[in-house]
A and B are shown apart, each in its own frame.
Chain A
Amino acid sequence: MPKLADYISVVTQPVIDDLRLLADKLRGKVIRNINSTAVGGGVTEILNRMVPFLQELGIDAHWDVIKGGERFFAVTKKIHNALHGATERITDDDLEVFIRTSKDNMAEMDLSGDIIFVHDPQPIALIEKKESNKWVWRCHVDVSEPQRNIWDFLMQYIPRYNAAVFSAPSFSRPLPVRQFLISPSIDPLSDKNRDLPDDMVRTVFDKYGVPLDKPVITQISRFDRLKDPVGVIDVYKRVKKYNDCRLVLAGGTASDDPEGLQVLEEVREAAGKDRDIHILLMPQNDLDVNALQRGSTVILQKSLREGFGLTISEALWKAKPVVASHVGGIPLQIKNKYSGLLCRSVDGAAFAVKQLLNNPGYARKLGENGREHIRNNFLLTRHLKDYLLLFLSLFHSEDVVYL
């Protein structure tokens, strides 16, 4: 587990000094994070890093997990999907299970502390036990077009919090409480993002049978219709008419997802017998993903819908030129023509990829700008700084705060 000092070489000493200055203002405060699982998922990944860093900074940070049976988590899964805009039938019985389990947790959990930081909808009802301390609801979900009745159900809890936090401006809605924008981040020292020697990159391409004899266009994402893998093949085919290249579509295994297997079949069918299209069904392997990104000429992310899309930050951190759809949190990571190219269609994406392949100097500049953009805005240290500021904001209501 890295220490904050390990990040000095990436973000410079004064950035770490600022974190210590802020943390000093929170000394003695007890901060309790609550979520629904200790293993797996993006929230857990964030808390696994954030809580030890807060402790290293001298803050009394804790992390607790709610308990719930199979039925409870089936209901919260439905709530999650409904918030993403899917049509879910959530019955009164389902809500009763949700409320009863929340009450059981209220009875059992220690909810003391200066700040209670509740992550996602599963533990949201714990707010009923709020006393004079400060409570924040951190919504990691895209709630830009939620199923109405479920949003209304959550709205009986949200206004009782002191603040809410969203990952992108488009996820926010008018609320009677203060709401803040805190984007997720990548860890530059993790296996997925750390520097790799060139020979290791070549070895990984060899392992997957992808020769590095011509430019490689890559999209890394699971085989999901919302990631539009068939659209990616269409982009490649349009580019291939003018620029000889390879396409890598790499994603996780989809054995537990019947729709994923179906999408994979569609992708294979679209690829036909083209030997320059490489469909890589990969197990979770951060180092391999890192190497595939580093060895690629252009990274594509042609999603139809996206939560935040951290694969963009991962690619830009490696100074790769990126072509990506103008959806979800992607425009926060790419300013069109400054740090990458945004697109809205297959033709637009194909045109952008050709521009990058034909103008390596331009592609290099976009990649370099992208890396600096990520260094300044999307690394773990910025995320930590935002959390410290969020905690401080609970004790100050002004727009300019002198500490």
Chain B
Amino acid sequence: MDPLQQAKEPFRFHTRLNLTELTGLRASVLPQLLKLIKKVPGACIYHHTHRFLEQHQYLSPEPPNDFAYWVSEVIGEAALAEQLASIDTVQFSTIRSLRDRIALTIEDYLAKNPLASLRFAGSGEEFHFVKSVSFIVPTGYIASTLEEFADILEKITIDSIYFHVFEARLRLEHPTNDFSYWIENALGCGELADKLAQLDPYAYTMEELRKRIISIVRSGYAKTC
């Protein structure tokens, strides 16, 4: 598509900044972890499945979520940790369904391995439930064409990309990521939008994800929509 084609609506980039709120809730054994996973606010589940990605954005792709890390490093149940780490987060469109899947994974494991319930975390190694409070702020960056969009992607913060790709889709329950939505609806390029929507963002480090998105967007310059 023409990279200079004017969009029906411009894309306003936002950024998302997180403050961590403590709940005072902690688990020392797997049954306790399971019970709390079922009842804590969705913002807790979001935090513990995405914080690792955000805090360790420089690491190789597919880092584990906090539950997997704790089960592996503290409780020492490697098989359960592997199951939790390999939950395909991108397949879930709501925090509710992601929470159910995590709970079911632990429940099934405990049913088959009752002795795992007896393993406990030492003092100071308990799992502490915390949640993310997100502040969403509009930035000064606005794109009216695909070319402007790609140029801005080069310079905005990782927090902004994170917001439009992860947070908007899963936590705010938008139907797809914000970039695909805009490309389809404001620029009318469904093929390019689909290509971005098919990306598994959890399989990249944050900077690699930025590069991949830019590369997909720029590959759209040469194609017809």
Task: Tell me, yes or no, whether A binds B.
Answer: yes
State whether A178 touches B59 (Cβ < 8 A): no
Using Cβ atoms and an 8 Å threshold, which residues of chain A touch B15? 18, 21
A279 at interface, CB cutoff 8 A:
no
When the two chains form their complex, are residues A175 and B57 in contact, meaning their CB atoms are under 8 A apart?
Answer: no
When the two chains form their complex, are residues A373 and B171 in contact, meaning their CB atoms are under 8 A apart?
A: no
Q: Any chain B CB within 8 A of the CB of A1? A: no
Q: Which single member of A14, A336, A376, A398 contacts B55 (CB below 8 Å)?
A: A376
The answer, among B25, B57, B133, for a CB contact under 8 Å with A401, is: B133
CB-CB under 8 A from B58, the residues of chain A are 369, 372-373, 376
Number of interface residues of B (CB under 8 A): 43
Given known pairs A172-B22, A180-B19, A402-B136, the reply for A144 and B56 (CB within 8 Å) is no
Residue A326 is within 8 A (CB to CB) of chain B in the complex: yes
Q: Is the CB of A369 within 8 A of B130?
A: no
A169-B66 Cα distance, complex, nearest whole Å = 14
B219 contacts chain A at the CB level, 8 A cutoff: no
What per-residue 1/0 map shows which CB atoms of A173-195 lie under 8 Å from chain B? 11100111110000000000000
Bound Cα distance from A395 to B32, whole angstroms: 34
- B126 and A170 form a contact (CB under 8 A): yes
Q: How far is the CB of B47 from chain A (nearest CB, A)?
A: 10
- Mask, B98-125, CB within 8 Å of A = 1, is 0000000000000000000000001011
Contact assessment for A169 and B134 in the assembled complex, using a CB-CB cutoff below 8 Å: no
Q: Residue of A at shortest CB range from B47?
A: A399
Interface string of A361-403 (1 = CB under 8 A from B): 0000000010011001100000001100110110000111111
Name the residue of chain A whose CB is nearest to the CB of B63.
A338
Known: A172-B128, A335-B69. A166 touches B134 (CB 8 A): no
Are B135 and A181 neighbours in the complex by a CB distance under 8 Å?
no
Q: Given A21-B139, A22-B135, A403-B136, A326–B124 Cβ distance below 8 Å?
A: yes
Given contacts A18-B157, A144-B124, contact A386 B19 (CB under 8 A): yes
Q: Which A residue's beta carbon lies closest to that of B131? A: A399
Does B79 reach chain A (CB closer than 8 Å)? no
Q: Which residues of B contact A373 (CB under 8 A)?
A: 55-56, 58
Give complex CA distance A344, B57 in Å: 27
Q: Which of A6-20 contact B (CB under 8 A)?
A: 12, 14-15, 17-18
* B17 contacts A180, C-beta separation under 8 Å: no
Chain A interface size, as a band, is 35 or more
Whether the Cβ atoms of A401 and B124 lie closer than 8 Å is no
Q: Beyond A169-B128, A376-B57, is A401–B136 a contact (Cβ under 8 Å)?
A: yes
**A22 CB contacts on chain B under 8 angstroms:** 17, 135, 137
The listed residue with most B CB atoms (<10 A of its CB), out of A169, A331, A369, is: A169
Chain B residues numbered 156-185 whose CB sits less than 8 Å from any CB in chain A: 156-157, 159, 171-172
Among B19, B132, B155, the one with the most A-chain Cβ atoms within 10 Å of its Cβ is B19
| Residue A327 CB within 8 A of the other chain | yes
Known: A402-B136, A403-B135. A14 touches B157 (CB 8 A): yes
Residues on the A chain within 8 Å of B25, using CB: 174
Tell whether A169 pairs with B133 under 8 Å between CB atoms, given A181-B21, A376-B57, A399-B41.
Answer: no
> Which of A328, A335, A344: most chain B CB closer than 10 A?
A335
User: A389–B135 contact, CB under 8 A?
Assistant: yes
B20 within 8 Å of A (CB atoms): yes
Per the bound structure, the CA–CA distance linking A377 and B159 in Å amounts to 13
Name the A residues within 8 Å of B135 (CB-CB): 22, 389, 392, 401, 403
Q: Cβ of A21 and Cβ of B126 under 8 Å apart? A: no
Assess the B21–A15 pair: CB atoms within 8 A: no
**A-side contacts of B159, CB under 8 Å:** 18
- Specify which chain A residues have a CB less than 8 angstroms from the CB of B21 in the assembled complex: 178-181
Are A399's CB and B133's CB within 8 A? yes
A359 CA to B27 CA in the complex, in Å? 36
Cβ–Cβ < 8 Å partners of B130 in chain A: 169, 181
B55 touches A377 (CB 8 A): yes
A174→B139 CA distance, assembly (Å): 36
Q: Which residues 69-121 of B have a CB within 8 angstroms of A?
A: 69, 73
Interface-central residue, B17, B41, B56, B128, by most chain A CB under 10 Å: B17
Which A residues contact B (CB, under 8 angstroms)?
12, 14-15, 17-18, 21-22, 25, 144, 166, 169-170, 172-175, 178-182, 326-328, 331, 335-336, 338-339, 344, 369, 372-373, 376-377, 385-386, 389-390, 392-393, 398-403
Question: Can you list 29 A-B pairs with a CB-CB distance of less than 8 A?
Answer: A17-B157, A18-B15, A21-B139, A22-B135, A22-B137, A170-B124, A170-B128, A172-B22, A173-B24, A174-B25, A175-B24, A180-B21, A180-B22, A182-B20, A328-B124, A331-B125, A335-B56, A335-B69, A336-B73, A338-B56, A338-B59, A372-B58, A376-B58, A386-B19, A389-B133, A389-B135, A401-B134, A401-B136, A403-B135
Assuming A22-B137, A327-B124, what are 4 further A-B pairs, CB within 8 angstroms?
A170-B124, A181-B20, A182-B20, A399-B41
